[in-house]
Amino acid sequence: MTFVPAVWLALLAAAWFGASTPFAKLLVGELSPVLLGGLLYLGSGVGLAIARLLRDRAWRASGLVPREWPWLLGAILFGGVLGPVALMYGLTYTSGATASLLLNLEGVLTALLAWVAFRENADRRIVLGMVAIVAGGVVLSWPSGEANASHWPGPLAIAVACLCWAIDNNLTRHVSGTDALFIAGTKGLIAGVVNSALALTLGAQLPDAGILLATMSVGLLGYGISLVLFVLALRGLGTARTGAYFSIAPFMGAVVALVLLDEPTTPAFWLAGGLMALGVWLHLMERHEHEHAHEPLDHRHPHRHDEHHQHEHGPEWDGKEPHGHLHQHNVVTHHHPHFPDTHHRHSH
């Protein structure tokens, strides 16, 4: 299937993020929640900035065109600043079991915003797959015993955090064609600085060097690399489908916890795995094909000269592909299987 590479990117993003959760849990007792979140983001931003410098052997421009900056800054505001603050506030009033259950709202809200606000197409198979994946997350995080009573501001704040991340995911889609290292690294640096500064202002203390390095390393792997893969997946899958695949992160985290923390399996664990596998299978079996028209478009992203990229180059081009530069798309009408990726955001 043409789109399998993008699917794998989304699944790997979920795996990295899910795997980071058990490691982050080991650090909770060492740091305040707000400082922990800030250092995780900061580790992501610093690590990706270094990776970008090493890759390019110099500091290069972002590649964003002026109209794309509001999308990125909005994504950082909602996903990197407001979302974590709302979550940390909610956790002070909410039991861990209830919070885990509520966090499954992110995938649902991401898809709903993509379908309703941004007019991303979805057929019956995609909707059913999303329902199956989210149902698996609900089963996995459902309290097994008597849940602690929660004051209503806590669950409301966590729901607001999920809404912020859903907005972040949909806004990030509009800049997903540019350098994924820059997008993810910028998010991490700004969110990390803001949240760490907030924590220190509230009286938190920085940990010793060993804990600090461990926390930032978990952030680089579980937040930074995961976000880079998520941005790359957005290019080929669109927001709703990428969000749906990413919703399997709780299951990935549970698998790692079984190995790392030697936790026993339960019937709910296997039921959740089955539901998520069903959802992924439904999405993999999707075939969306019809005659569609591409409107004139100019943007910048890595590409090859395929049916969507037929343009001339000057003598400075060395002939290597993929390559990235500002290019124009002319009007074209054709018929082939596609997802709502960077070039297929048409109405239905």
pLDDT above 80: residue 224: yes
Asked if 199 and 302 sit in the same domain, the reply is no
- pLDDT for position 171: 93
Buried b or exposed e, range 295-329, using 16+ CB within 10 angstroms:
eeeebbbbbeeeebbeeeeeeeeeeeeeeeeebeb
Confidence at 1, pLDDT banded by 50, 70, 90: very low
Asked if 230 and 91 sit in the same domain, the reply is yes
**335 assigned to some structural domain:** no
Percent of the chain with pLDDT over 90: 17
Please tell me the least confidently modeled range out of 50-54, 119-123, 331-335. Answer: 331-335
Asked if 221 and 304 sit in the same domain, the reply is no
**340 assigned to some structural domain:** no
| CB neighbour class for 1 (10 Å; exposed up to 12, middle 13-18, buried from 19) | exposed
- pLDDT for position 346: 45
List pLDDT tens digits, range 157-170. Answer: 878 888 998 999 89
Asked if 316 and 280 sit in the same domain, the reply is no
Asked if 43 and 114 sit in the same domain, the reply is yes
Asked if 210 and 316 sit in the same domain, the reply is no
Mean pLDDT of 109-113: 83
pLDDT above 50: residue 214: yes
Asked if 274 and 305 sit in the same domain, the reply is no
| CB neighbour class for 248 (10 Å; exposed up to 12, middle 13-18, buried from 19) | buried
CB 154 within 8 A of CB 272: no
Domain containing residue 100 = 4-290
Q: What distances in angstroms separate CA 201 from CA 29, 30, 32, 62, one per listed residue?
A: 20, 18, 12, 31
Asked if 322 and 198 sit in the same domain, the reply is no
- Alpha-helix residue ranges (DSSP H) falling in 65-122: 69-75, 83-91, 96-102, 105-116
**345 assigned to some structural domain:** no
- pLDDT for position 330: 64
- pLDDT for position 117: 74
Amino acid at 2: T
Asked if 313 and 257 sit in the same domain, the reply is no
Amino acid at 260: L
Distance CA 190, CA 38 (A): 10
Indicate the pTM of the whole model.
0.73
**115 assigned to some structural domain:** yes
- pLDDT for position 113: 86
- pLDDT for position 4: 58
Give the number of domains in the chain: 2
Asked if 198 and 318 sit in the same domain, the reply is no
The Cα angle at residue 277 between residues 272 and 280, in degrees rounded to 5: 125
Asked if 278 and 300 sit in the same domain, the reply is no
CB 195 within 8 A of CB 234: no
Residue 28 DSSP label = G
| CB neighbour class for 162 (10 Å; exposed up to 12, middle 13-18, buried from 19) | buried
- pLDDT for position 228: 93
**348 assigned to some structural domain:** no
CA dihedral 337, 338, 344, 347 (to 10 degrees): 70
Confidence at 102, pLDDT banded by 50, 70, 90: low
Phi, psi of 265 (to 5 degrees): -85, 155
**344 assigned to some structural domain:** no
Asked if 283 and 303 sit in the same domain, the reply is no
